Amino acid sequence: MPSLLTTDPRPAPEHAPVGADTRALTLRAKAPLRISFAGGGTDVAPFPETEGGAVLSATIARYAYGSLTPRPGGAIHVASDDLGVSLSFGVDERLTLDGELDLAKAAACHLGELAGGERDGYDLRMHSSAPPGSGLGSSSAVMVALVGLLRDRYGLRMDAYQVARTAHRLERHDLGIRGGQQDHYAAAFGGFNYIEFLGGDHVVVNPLRISEDTVAELEHNLLLCFTGRTRASDNIIADQSARLAGAERDTVEGLRAQKQLATAMKHALLQNRLRDFGALLDEAWQQKKRISPRISTAYIDEAYAAARAAGALGGKITGAGGGGFMLLYCEFDRKRQVAAALTALDMTVDEITFCPTGLSTWSPR
């Protein structure tokens, strides 16, 4: 399999084939998208290295999907249903990172190398329930699904931590796409998690045993609202990193508050204190806006004010900011009024179903 040109040194392969080579099988994969409640930004370097980060998140029943079908000959064909783009390349072809389906290129090259080289071709197709830049971690979930597919193709021994770590390295280091680590671990593990980032690849995923009643009440009271605008999160993250490197007070204190709020919200969920959870969600949004002036916009501020006036207890933008999805918590008797207020501002309003499982792979045989 070809090697990609990259300026980042890659650690020696940590995964070895285990003999369960499935190159003759059609394979499927899906990885869930996520919503983050608090702690976003504390997983972005250099904050984890200096202070340690923490994120509280949960996966939802929206997914990144992948499918791999063997094909005769030495060609690999890749297609994205979301982008309406496809390309083909030979198994021995040297590839260039040119912005065209780079996630698939990086995954195909790296996993093929770990397996000792590709001999036969395949068709690789992918799509996602949310567009890139929507704030639900869709591109990272796509990468996790791709790593899962190719892991199974080659029979590589990779647990959820190794899948997440590999997906993170490919997206953030090999491809140079700015961002944190939380999305890859959420997609690989699934469910409600309190994730600690302790510098480098040292990540600890703490699954939370949230009661069924609490999960049901959350689904009853949460709204997920699409602003109609996507954004390039790497610009916002670059601004955050520059401000952190410059020790700007608001950025540093905003990130520290995010970490503390992730812990406080974890306890609120575990103790079924959902009114407190809603209020903490509002505090998380106020602190998040301190990290960078690019996180909110006039439209987002207007929409959030309208939601609060209609009865929402709290809410926030789910990703880096600037657009994407807004998450809102409101007691059920105010939910219809909040939805109407945001619909009047041309937002698309939907409910949430949580997904308790992470990356899934299977074969239709």
- What CATH number does residue 40 fall under? 3.30.230.10
The region of weakest confidence among 22-31, 230-239, 314-323 is 230-239
Q: At CA 30, angle to CA 363 and CA 181, rounded to 5? A: 135
CATH number at residue 326: 3.30.70.890
* Residues spanned by the domain of 254: 212-350
Query: Residue 58 pLDDT > 60, yes or no?
Result: yes
Pair (239, 153) in one structural domain: no
In-domain check, residue 196 = yes
Mean pLDDT calculated for residue range 179-189: 96
Q: Which of 25-34, 73-82, 228-237 has the highest mean pLDDT?
A: 25-34
Mean pLDDT calculated for residue range 294-322: 93
**pLDDT category of residue 2 using cuts at 50, 70 and 90:** very low
Pair (283, 298) in one structural domain: yes
Mean pLDDT calculated for residue range 265-284: 98
Pair (223, 282) in one structural domain: yes
Q: What's the confidence (pLDDT) of residue 340?
A: 98
In-domain check, residue 1 = no
Secondary structure of residue 139 in the 3-state scheme? helix
Mean pLDDT calculated for residue range 181-187: 97
The region of weakest confidence among 16-20, 155-159, 190-194 is 16-20
CB 13 within 8 A of CB 158: no
Helices within 18-101 (DSSP H only): 47-50
Q: What's the confidence (pLDDT) of residue 233?
A: 62
Pair (232, 305) in one structural domain: yes
Pair (216, 189) in one structural domain: no
Query: Residue 132 pLDDT > 80, yes or no?
Result: no
In terms of C-beta density within 10 A (0-12 exposed, 13-18 middle, 19 or more buried), how is residue 7 classed?
Answer: exposed
Q: What's the confidence (pLDDT) of residue 320?
A: 76
| Boundary residue ending a domain (188, 208, 228) | 208
- The tally of domains found in the chain comes to 2
Pair (56, 44) in one structural domain: yes
What share of the chain in percent tops pLDDT 70? 93
**pLDDT category of residue 39 using cuts at 50, 70 and 90:** very high
pLDDT tens figures, 212-255 = 999 999 999 999 999 987 665 667 888 888 888 888 899 999 99
Pair (112, 227) in one structural domain: no
Bridge-based pairing of strands 121-128 and 75-80 is parallel
Q: What's the confidence (pLDDT) of residue 234?
A: 60
Query: Residue 40 pLDDT > 50, yes or no?
Result: yes
Pair (89, 125) in one structural domain: yes
The region of weakest confidence among 82-96, 177-191, 202-216 is 82-96
Closest CA to 290 of 245, 249, 237, 318: 249
Q: What's the confidence (pLDDT) of residue 20?
A: 57
Q: E strands of the chain, at which residues?
A: 27-38, 53-71, 75-80, 85-90, 121-128, 192-197, 203-207, 222-226, 314-317, 325-329, 348-350, 360-362
Pair (238, 293) in one structural domain: yes
- What is d(CA 221, CA 223) in angstroms, rounded to the nearest whole number? 7
Catalytic site includes residue 183: yes
Pair (51, 144) in one structural domain: yes
Ramachandran angles phi, psi of 25, nearest 5°? -105, 145
| Boundary residue ending a domain (155, 175, 208) | 208
DSSP designation for 136: S
In-domain check, residue 189 = yes
Query: Residue 76 pLDDT > 60, yes or no?
Result: yes
In-domain check, residue 5 = no
Ramachandran angles phi, psi of 360, nearest 5°? -125, 135
Q: Select which of 43, 152, 174, 183 is catalytic.
A: 183
In-domain check, residue 265 = yes
In-domain check, residue 65 = yes
- What is d(CA 158, CA 166) in angstroms, rounded to the nearest whole number? 9
Q: What's the confidence (pLDDT) of residue 239?
A: 83
Q: What's the confidence (pLDDT) of residue 72?
A: 87
| Boundary residue ending a domain (208, 241, 262) | 208
Query: Residue 68 pLDDT > 90, yes or no?
Result: yes
Ramachandran angles phi, psi of 126, nearest 5°? -145, 150
CB 205 within 8 A of CB 198: no
In-domain check, residue 359 = no
Of the chain, the end-to-end C-alpha distance in Å amounts to 26
Q: What's the confidence (pLDDT) of residue 139?
A: 93
Mean pLDDT calculated for residue range 74-101: 90
Query: Residue 281 pLDDT > 80, yes or no?
Result: yes
pLDDT tens figures, 139-170 = 999 999 999 999 999 999 999 999 999 999 99
pLDDT tens figures, 342-361 = 999 999 999 999 999 999 99
Pair (106, 182) in one structural domain: yes
In-domain check, residue 18 = no
Query: Residue 21 pLDDT > 80, yes or no?
Result: no
Q: What's the confidence (pLDDT) of residue 246?
A: 86
Pair (228, 153) in one structural domain: no
Single-letter residue type at 302 = E
- What is d(CA 168, CA 140) in angstroms, rounded to the nearest whole number? 8
Q: What's the confidence (pLDDT) of residue 304?
A: 97
